[in-house]
Structure 1
Amino acid sequence: MRTFRLAAVGAAALLALTACGSGSPSGGGDGSSPAAGGQSGSPASGDLTPIEVGVIPIVDVAPIYLGVKEGIFEDHGLDVTLTLAQGGAAIVPAVQSGQMDFGFSNVTSLVIGRSQGLPVKLVATGPQTTGDSEDDFAAVMVPEDSDVESAADLDDKRIAVNTLNNINDTVISEGIRQDGGNPDTIEYVEMAFPDMVGQLEAGNVDAIGAVEPFVTLAEEGGARRVFAQYADPIPDLSIAGYFTTDDKIEQDPEVVDNFVAAMKESQQYATDNPDEAKAVLPEYTSLEPDVIEELTMPRFPQEHDRDSLQEVIDLSLEGGLIDEAPSMDDLIREGA
C-alpha cells in the first residue's frame, strides 16, 4: 500500500465545519471552541456536575446534541458543554490533560492510542453502519464514467481518504481484499473531506472514501457508489464512540456512569426521532437544508458491537498500524 499526502485545493468553505478530523471550527487558534447556539446545559446548579465533551462537527454526533437539547443530560445530573474541535488530534490530548472530560473518536484511533500506552478507554458507543450497501452514510465513490464497477476494480487506483493509516483506508483495503483485489497496489491520498468531490471531478484521484454529507454532494455531482466501506467488509461496524481516561473512570465513577446512561438514552432518542436528529444538524454544522434532507444518517445503537471492534483490532495489527493488540478490557469499558 503506497501512501502520500496531497495539498488541499479549493476546500468548500461552507462545508468546512463538516470535515471529520479536518474541520475548521470557529473560534481560537487552538483548534477548538465551545459549540455555539446554547449547546451547553442550563447554568450549573448544586445539583448538576459540569462536564466538557470534545466533539467534531459531523452527523455522527447528532445524538449528543439532541441529548443536551432535550434535557437528557440534565436528567442525569450533568451540565454539558460541547466543544467543537478539528478532530482527534486536538481532542485526545485535551481529554488526557483533564481539560475535557470526554471526547469523540473513531475506533481505530483509540486502538492505536491504547496500543501506544495512552490511558484512553471507550465508555459509550457512537455511530454504526446502517448495514445497507446501497444506503449507508459512507461510500467509496467514482466518477460516473469510471470503468470501476466493483471493489476489486480499484486495484492500482488513487483513492482519497481523510487520514492515512486509520479507519477509512483500513476498511477500504479490507473491502478490496474480500472482493478479490490487491490493496497493496492502491495509492491512498490524504485529503480533507470537503476537498474530495472537487478533486474527484478534476481527475486528481480515481475514487474517494466519502462520508455524509459528501456522499450526497458527490452523487448530486454525478458520482456513483462502488461499495460501502463501513457496511460491506465488517458486519455491524461500530465506527466511533466517546472515550475518557482510566483516571477519570477510577476517580469519578458516578460522573462516568451518568454520562454513559445519558448517551445511551440520547442514542435511543435519535433512533426513535430521526427527523429531529437531522433537524439538529444546522446547530453545529453549515449544512444546507436540501442536503440535510437527502443525506443518510448512521444507526445510533446503545451498545458498541464488540465483534466489529475485535475485527478493527485484528485489521490494525495485520496492517501494521499497531505492533501489539490491546486487550478488549483495556480498550472498552464494560457496558459501553
Structure 2
Amino acid sequence: MRKRQMLTWITAAALGMSLLSGCSAGSKSAETAGSTENSAQSTSDTKKSGDGGLTVVREAVMSNNLDQWLAIVGTEKGFFEDEGIKLEVTEFAAGINTVDAIVTGQADIGDLADYAAVNRIGNTQDKTNLRILFRLAQGTGSSLYVNPDKVKDLSDLADQGFLTLPGTAWDYWNAVTYEKAGIPEDQQNLVRVDSSQAALAVMTTGQGVAFWAGGVDAKKLEEAGMKALVSMDEIGLYTDQYLISSTEYLAQNPETVESFVKAVKTTQEWVEENTDEAAGILENKLKVPKQQFIDKFENYKMDLDFPEEAVEHFDGIKAWALENGKFAKDYDLKDFTDLTAIKKLYPDKVAE
C-alpha cells in the first residue's frame, strides 16, 4: 500500500499542474519554506513604510479560504489602511505552507487550521517560534464528495482511495470519517496529494473516490460529477482557524499587531452586516460567482477570540494526534499562544 500511495502522490502533483494550473494563482507569488522552525530572520529589517507612512504587514493566506476573503474585503474597504496598515497578501495552497512562509521570514502573519496547528507544534515543539494570536472562525462548510459510482455509503470507503493533504486538517477529518464508518486500519487507503487542486484532478481521473471539500473546490467536484455524501455537521466535525505569527515579529511589532487585529475585527463585523456587498467584491477580484461566497460565509461563525471552548477543541485534537503517534510527546497549548493583543483589545473574548 505504501508504494501505491507514493505513486499516487507523484501522479497527483503532475495532474494538478497539467489539468488545473492557475486554480490557486495568487496576486503575488512566494516560495514555500524549508523545515527548520527557527530559520526565520528578524523581521525588523523587512518591515518598511508603505505609501503615506503606512506600515507594511505581509500576510500569508490560504487560497479560496476565509482569511483570503477577509484580506481582500478589508483592503478594498480601507479598513487596514484606516489602522495604518498596508497589507501585502501572498496566496498559498494550504495553511501548512503559510507556516513555512512565517518561519523563514517571508510573511509576518498567516492562517492555520486546528489539526495543522496541533501537528506542526507537536513535531517542532522544542524549537518552534510559532505563536497562535487568536481564533479567526469556526467552519463547518465542507462536505465529503465522492464518486457516486463507487461510494454510496461511508462503509464503501474501505480499501478505496481517500484523498488527504498530509499534516493538515484533512488527516484528522479522514480519521474521524473512518471511525464513523467503522473501517479498520488495514482497510484504510489514504492517497496523499499536495494541494486541493491536485485532489480535484485525482478525483476526476478516478484514482481517488472521496475528498472533503467546500467552496470553489466543491463546485468543481460537482461539475465533474461528484456528489456530496455527508456534511461536516452530520459527522460531528468542525474546524477552528487561527491566525499565527512568530515570537520575533510579535516582540518587535506589538502596536502593529494590535492595529492588524482591529482591522480584521472591523472587516469581520462589516462582512456580517454586508454579506452581499462583500461577496460582490470577491466576485470582482476572484472571478467566482458571488453566490458561492454568500453560501460559504453562512458556514462560518466568525469571531476574534480564544475562549475555553477553543482550548478544549484544540486539546481534543491534540489528544487524538498524540494517541495515534503523530508526534512523540504532549505539550501545553499555552506555551504556543500569544493572546496579548486580543486580551488588551477584547478581554471578554479570551479564556481566563
Instruction: Place the TM-score, normalised by the shorter chain, in its bin.
Output: 0.7 to 0.9
- Give the Cα separation in 2 of the matches to 1:324 and 1:283: 47
- Residue in 2 aligned with 1:148? 152
Query: Given residue 106 of structure 1, which amino acid in structure 2 is its aligned partner?
Result: A
Any residues of structure 2 matched to 1:86-105 within 5 Å, and which? 86-88=93-95, 90-105=97-112
**Aligned equivalent of 1:228:** 231
Deviation of the 1:88 alpha carbon: 4.5
Could you say which structure has the greater relative contact order, defined with CA pairs below 8 angstroms and 6 or more residues apart? 1
Counterpart amino acid of residue 333 in structure 2: M
Task: Tell me if structure 1 keeps the 8 A contact 2:131–2:246.
Answer: yes
CA distance in 1, matches of 2:272, 2:226: 29
Alpha-carbon distance between aligned partners in 1 of 2:290 and 2:239, rounded to the nearest angstrom:
28
Q: Counterpart of 2:120 in structure 1: which amino acid? A: G
How far did residue 275 of structure 1 move? 2.3
Shift of 1:184: 5.0
Counterpart CA distance in 1 for 2:97 and 2:290 is 31
TM-score, normalised via structure 2 length: 0.75
- CA 1:206/1:246 → structure 2, altered by over 3 Å: closer, same or farther? same
Contact 1:76 1:261 in 2 (8 A): yes
Note the C-alpha offset of 1:168.
0.3
Q: How many residues align?
A: 311
Give the match for residue 36 of structure 1. none
What is the letter of the counterpart of residue 272 of structure 2?
T
Counting only pairs closer than 5 Å after superposition, residues 184-333 of structure 1 correspond to structure 2 as 185-191=187-193, 192-229=195-232, 232-234=235-237, 236-238=238-240, 240-282=241-283, 285=286, 287-289=287-289, 292=292, 296-297=296-297, 298-299=299-300, 300-304=302-306, 305-333=310-338
Q: 1:127 to 1:12 in 2, by over 3 A?
A: farther
Alignment of 1:22-41 (within 5 A): 23-25=24-26, 30=31
From 105, 109, 114, give the equivalent of 1:107.
Answer: 114
List gaps (5 residues or longer) in structure 2.
Answer: 34-48, 343-349
Q: Equivalents in 2 of 1:293, 1:27: separation in Å?
A: 22
SS at match of 2:182: coil
Aligned CA distance change for structure 1 residues 276 and 313 (closer, same or farther; 3 Å): farther
Work out whether 1:180 is the aligned partner of 2:190.
no
> What is aligned with 1:49?
55
Within 5 A, what are the aligned runs for 1:55-94?
55-61=61-67, 62-88=69-95, 90-94=97-101
1:226 match: secondary structure: strand
SS in 2 for 1:260: helix
DSSP 3-state at the match of 2:317: helix
SS in 2 for 1:98: coil
Residue of structure 2 in register with 1:133 after alignment: none
The Cα shift of 1:120 comes to 0.5
1-side partners of 2:293 and 2:109: how far apart? 30
CA distance in 1 between counterparts of 2:248 and 2:50 reads 26
Q: CA offsets, 1:246-266, max 9 Å, x none?
A: 222223222222222222222
Question: Residue 183 of structure 2: SS of its match in structure 1?
Answer: coil
CA contact (8 A) 1:193 1:214 kept: yes
Unaligned runs of 5+ in 1: 33-41, 131-135
* Distance in structure 2 (CA, Å) of the matches to 1:217 and 1:196: 11
- Describe the shift of the 1:230–1:324 C-alpha distance in structure 2 as closer, same or farther (beyond 3 A): farther
State the Cα deviation string for residues 176-229 of structure 1 (Å, max 9, x = none).
213433355221112332243443343221222323212122223332122234
State the Cα distance separating 1:95 from its structure 2 match.
2.0
1:53/1:293 Cα in 2 relative to 1: closer, same or farther (>3 Å)? Answer: closer
Shift of 1:231: 6.6
State the Cα distance separating 1:282 from its structure 2 match: 4.5
Q: Residues 228, 111 of structure 1: CA spacing in aligned structure 2 closer, same or farther, 3 A cutoff?
A: same
Paired residue type of 1:255 = T
Task: Name whichever structure is richer in helix by fraction.
Answer: 2
Distance in 1 separating the partners of 2:278 and 2:322: 35
CA contact (8 A) 1:149 1:226 kept: yes
Residue 129 of structure 2 is aligned to residue 119 of structure 1 = yes
- Does residue 11 (structure 1) correspond to residue 16 (structure 2)? The answer is yes
Q: Distance in 1 between matches of 2:233 and 2:245?
A: 24
- For 1:103, give the aligned amino acid: G
Q: 1:254 to 1:209 in 2, by over 3 A?
A: same
Three-state SS of the structure 1 residue aligned to 2:225 is: coil
